[in-house]
Structure 1
């Protein structure tokens, strides 16, 4: 395992992290508490030191698992997220409906205190505002509250997580430009480069680093799906269309050249992301020990060559020769007026 520094924090994150939503929400199958804690501890033994949670994962369960597994272990870096008000709804920990958001200063402070209790820590290493909309990006009072929590020692670093799903382009661009957070977490992978690449490129240079979730395109880039693959009733991937599976398999066939010398397609997908120095950690979906060993092994697998990287880029640019699926983005995909004007060149054209 290799590690990357998070600027302005003194934190070192493992290049491969562990997002606990897979073991706390029930959306990837049922996992007992003992099984979840055992998997977390194996991950720690294999070199993973960065774990990503959210207070809403299992309605606090994800954080509770981390607290029980690691407590105040100083060698573990923990990120969590706040912003959804699930209190009073704890009876249904696997509920997949989107909850009401609450970013008021009072709620934010209350939520952070609850996170600390569940994590059994005095400080949250990285606090992320969960699935911020443009109104939250522009809310000065919200970000003043975050900085106050940092000054009080309740959090060490902060950032924003973008979602749900894919397509929050200008929320990401503006939060980086306007707030310069330590991290922004978003979806990005070989099969879904838009809008993640555009977000990072257009946000411009600076100290903000990126945490990448869904690096395997909901499992497609693990290379194990077939035309007969189905998903269980509790699996969130059951909502994916047949077209998504069929077109994905065509793309995966064109990426099989990456499987060589013991390197798996899943490992190559992680390596491709880590070629970008702006990315500080990749968060694959880990829900069993075999996956854990495979993804941790990405650091030890044969590196991608210049030729392989070039071929991947050619496939991306040609959209793998497949008609793209229609995607309904929920976020801001066109420049807000004031953002567009700030990016205009001297002749009035966009730059």
Structure 2
């Protein structure tokens, strides 16, 4: 395992980490505590020392499973969770100092941890980024020992750029993958200049970039890949990186020609992300232990060649960029 510094947190974290949105089973399926713990243990056994969760994943069950496993392990494992998405309706007016303090205290109780290594605002509404009192709350929580660092999970590059204007924001979690390349421009430059840790989520475009999906693939009713393609549940950019499914399949077919003989594109897609030095860690999910090994193998893979990167850029420019680049 290779480790990178997570910006001004000072944490050295595994460059491939673990996201736990679906750690207790497939999206839309009942949460399975035993499965979740087996996946978490497998990741830590293999050197993963950064785990990302949220209070809304599995209706708090993912966060609780992370806490149980981390508390009984001897290794130092950094836990990042998120708050804000339990606000209903999810609007700026719901973001109050009292509500967010309550969410942090609930996460501490749910996880059983004494302090949260990283608490992240969970894709707040655009107006919330312009309210200093919301960001200032986390200085108070840090002084109280309840949190160690503040980060923000964002939907858009513009939101990331606004968030890092606050001195106490140490990390940004953002979608970045072969189908969502815009963060590699201005945002990555500013992040490096300000020593911001960059956490990459949705690195495989909801599994589309594995190359294992086709026109006949179906998804369960409770799976966001079934109901959220047009943003019915939340920002549609979280599902297949925001591109139409059929366009994604066409682009994946062309990407497979860049990596002939590879039946699973996941390692190449993750390696492409790791080839960007601004990235601190990537948090692919896993719904079974074998996916942990598949994801971690990208860390040992050689960087992509200039020829491969040029072909990827051409596919992105022709197929994907006109549809997503300026939206997020």
Q: TM-score range by the shorter chain?
A: 0.7 to 0.9
Aligned counterparts of 1:189 and 1:72: Cα–Cα separation in 2 = 34
Quick check: 206-215 or 67-76, which moved more?
67-76
Q: Quick check: 2:210–2:266 contact (8 Å CA) kept in 1?
A: yes
Q: Quick check: 1:169–1:196 contact (8 Å CA) kept in 2?
A: no
Deviation at 1:22, TM superposition (A): 0.7
- Deviation readout 1:107-150 (Å, 9 max, x if unpaired): 22222121112222111111101112332212111111111111
Deviation at 1:59, TM superposition (A): 2.5
Local SS of the residue matching 2:149: strand
**Is 1:279 aligned to residue 283 of structure 2?**
no
Relative contact order (C-alpha < 8 Å, sep 6+): which is higher?
2
Which of 1 and 2 has greater Rg? 1
Deviation at 1:295, TM superposition (A): 0.3
Show structure 1 runs of 5+ residues with no match: 87-96, 334-351
2:105 matched residue in structure 1: 113
**Matches for 1:90-239 after TM superposition, within 5 Å:** 99=90, 102-163=94-155, 168-179=156-167, 181-194=169-182, 197-201=185-189, 205-239=193-227
Alpha-carbon distance change, 61 to 328 in structure 1, aligned in 2, over 3 angstroms: farther
Deviation at 1:326, TM superposition (A): 7.4
Aligned length: 314
2:81 matched residue in structure 1: 80
RMSD: 2.8
Aligned counterparts of 1:37 and 1:204: Cα–Cα separation in 2 = 35
2:259 matched residue in structure 1: 259
Q: Quick check: 2:108–2:114 contact (8 Å CA) kept in 1?
A: yes
Deviation at 1:58, TM superposition (A): 2.2
Local SS of the residue matching 1:124: coil
Aligned counterparts of 1:204 and 1:75: Cα–Cα separation in 2 = 26
Deviation at 1:98, TM superposition (A): 6.5
Structure with the bigger percentage of helix: 2
Deviation at 1:244, TM superposition (A): 2.2
Deviation at 1:314, TM superposition (A): 3.0
Deviation at 1:44, TM superposition (A): 0.9
Aligned counterparts of 1:170 and 1:7: Cα–Cα separation in 2 = 20
Quick check: 171-180 or 278-287, which moved more?
171-180
1:37 matched residue in structure 2: 37
Q: Quick check: 2:35–2:288 contact (8 Å CA) kept in 1?
A: no
Normalised TM-score (structure 2): 0.85
Normalised TM-score (structure 1): 0.80
Alpha-carbon distance change, 285 to 196 in structure 1, aligned in 2, over 3 angstroms: farther
